[in-house]
Amino acid sequence: MTTIKQQVAEDRIRVVVHLDRQVRFVAGTATDPYRIFFDLEGARPADTLAAKTFVGDIFLRRIRVAQYQPGITRVVLDMGQAAPYSVRFLDDPPRLEIEIWRAGGSHLVAAPAPDAVARTPTAAAPPARGLSGTFASSESKLASRFAAAGDPGALLEAARRGSSSAQFEMGNLYMTGHGVGRDPVAAASWYRAAAQQAHAAAASNLGVLYANGWGVPLSDAEAVNWFRKAADAGDPGGENNLGSMYIAGRGVPQSDALGAKYILSAAEHGAPEAQYALGTLYANGRGVPADDEQAVKWLKASATQGYAPAQVVLGKLYAAGAGVPRDYPEAYCWFAMAAASGDKEAAAEVNSIAPRLTAEQLAQAQQRALTSAQPRR
């Protein structure tokens, strides 16, 4: 670990931990006072970092670095109040980027289903807004790519020349605000240009904008139109989104069976968001027979790809012994991995479940979480 820098904006504070290589990490929170911490496996702080406390503003008061235990360095953010945060690992150069959102700040998240009817209290229906997670998964990849390339202007030129791939990535940049100001209207324009050239992922993302009313008028019919184009081209995000619209009955007649059909296809193509949705369908018996074994199978498939909502649900299943044997250390591992992605609920669950473990179980569970966690890209 070489340096730590912070950037202060009106709606957020960004903390960047610079490293000399990729690392695995888990995250958590603690109270009295509120703080967010990150345990980095195999990272050793530079002497100047280990000896120094960084002082921020009244919202982020201090940043502390110390060797937490052999082979693990802990970075602690002392906060003035509880706050949502996100974290990702970028690899060129290697760094951990943490964004902490001030009160009133917002960031791109999937809208939850308002009508989830769970057979167990831990399962939830797929997102009613049909958001496949394309933006969330591409955001850090794009940030890493353009940090390395250093020339987003070349991408713009390619997009203007008619490259559908460049147009799609320009849409992603405008939607996430990386390298340009966040502008959903501009994002919709670039997605449309790419989608009209049969770029399936762009069609899916354009459908997401219509499903949420971001940069375009809210229109379930238009959302379904673009999702279907993407799904017909075999795009897993489009399949998952179209399936979610059938489950919610938005823009199409409600049909759990058709929803499950499209979500299953996306899950079999390896989309973690669809695997999560399919797991919840099996847990609830919606469109497929209720089957705890299949539910856990698909949730694990999603969770092992780093999808935080699936990790949270798995943690709850193991904590409650619902569909699986009760296993607090296993629950801790899944919660810890989700917390490393900035999931607030998981961070709270980590703190809640830790007292149920012996010191030896806690140490082993934390090490397992560190070993299983993938560097965030």
pLDDT of residue 140: 38
Q: Coil, helix or strand for 99? A: strand
CA atoms of 125 and 249, how far apart (whole Å): 13
CA atoms of 363 and 33, how far apart (whole Å): 23
Closest among 77, 75, 94 to 85, alpha carbons compared: 77
pLDDT of residue 129: 34
Domains and CATH numbers, the chain: 3-101 (2.60.40.3500), 134-299 (1.25.40.10), 306-372 (no CATH)
pLDDT of residue 64: 86
Q: What angle do CA 60, 377, 130 make, to 5 degrees?
A: 90
Token pair listed for 173? 């940049």
Q: Coil, helix or strand for 78? A: strand
Per-residue model confidence as pLDDT tens for the chain (377 residues): 778 888 777 667 888 998 888 888 887 777 777 788 888 887 887 766 655 566 556 678 888 888 777 778 888 888 877 777 777 788 778 888 888 876 533 332 232 232 222 222 223 333 333 334 343 333 333 333 333 333 567 788 899 999 999 999 889 888 877 767 788 999 999 999 999 999 999 999 999 999 988 899 999 999 999 999 999 999 999 999 999 999 989 999 999 999 999 999 999 999 999 999 999 999 889 999 999 999 999 999 999 888 888 999 999 999 988 889 999 999 999 998 888 777 778 888 888 888 888 988 888 888 888 777 654 43
Cα–Cα distances in angstroms (integers) from residue 371 to residues 1, 20, 36, 100, in the given order = 19, 19, 20, 26
Token pair listed for 304? 């092992």
Closest among 247, 296, 256 to 276, alpha carbons compared: 296
- Sorted by sequence, the CB contacts under 8 Å of residue 59 that are 6+ apart come out as 13, 79, 80, 81, 83, 100, 102
